[in-house]
Amino acid sequence: MRRYIPLLFVLLACNQPEQQDNENNTEQNAPEQISYTVTNIYKHDSTAFTQGLEYHDGFMYEGTGQLGASKLFKKELQTGSIVKSHPLEANLFGEGITILNDKIYQLTWQNKIGFVYQLSDFKLLQQFTYQIDGWGLTNDGKHLIVSDGSSSLYFWDPSTFKEVKRISVQDNRGLRNNLNELELIDGFVYANVWQTDEILKIDTATGNVVGKMDLTGLLQKNTGIYLNDPDKVLNGIAWDKKGKRLFLTGKYWPRLFELKFAP
């Protein structure tokens, strides 16, 4: 079999998607610190293991994880009341979601199965598979943008689910791993970093981290609630494009926060 390896390598290389050669950019400037103010606090289901969060037409959409508890929700923002829900099969671990062209896309973790639903009624339209672990999901209007817990962001065709581009994410100190829940805001991807209180602002053309948000103590400082549990981490970013409002929550958090970026 050894004599077939060179030919196989050539064939694979010719069909690889575009990948940014941007690793270990030591000349990159340090990311700017992004300031914010908390403008509203809402109720959030403390039993929800939040994996994906989307704001759309006045409602909050949420995808949750854990085996036997993974669901897709449509909720009222003000009250957190459930308008619509769709459970995943008990053997599936739900992950990130995004809304594109009146469809909801949802990933699973190590099941490597994704779903496409009709936005209006959560009717299942399509099921697809992929090769990486599914973590975070957003879109730029043309592509699905996916994280897998590494330092990579993958750009997929939303019709074929084939990878068309991949970028490595780094700041001035090197690659940034554990990229999780994603949201596109004004052309930049904002990414939760798993098990931290940090959100990265990423240039989708270069993979460079151009800004950082420090959310340390967001829950405790604003509500007095302290969660001493390593699983109850910050995770969940949603953006109201019209109102320029940022929504944040976490896994099993009892509150959802509305923020405004400081000038």
Q: What domains appear along the chain, each with residue ranges and CATH number?
A: 34-261 (2.130.10.10)
Q: Are 95 and 132 in contact (CB under 8 A)?
A: no
Q: How far apart are the first and last CA of the chain?
A: 61
User: Which of these, 112, 18, 95, 105, lies nearest to 56 by C-alpha position?
Assistant: 105
Q: Are 202 and 210 in contact (CB under 8 A)?
A: yes
pTM: 0.89
Find residue 145's DSSP bridge partners: 138, 155
Cα 263 to Cα 44: distance, rounded to the nearest angstrom: 28
User: Which of these, 79, 69, 62, 44, lies nearest to 225 by C-alpha position?
Assistant: 44
Residue position matching structure tokens 């994603």? 182
Encode the chain (263 residues) as per-residue pLDDT tens digits: 333 334 333 333 334 455 554 544 447 889 999 999 999 999 999 999 999 999 999 999 999 999 999 999 999 999 999 999 999 999 999 999 999 999 999 999 999 999 999 999 999 999 999 999 999 999 999 999 999 999 999 999 999 999 999 999 999 999 999 999 999 999 999 999 999 999 999 999 999 999 999 999 999 999 999 998 989 999 999 999 999 999 999 999 999 999 999 98
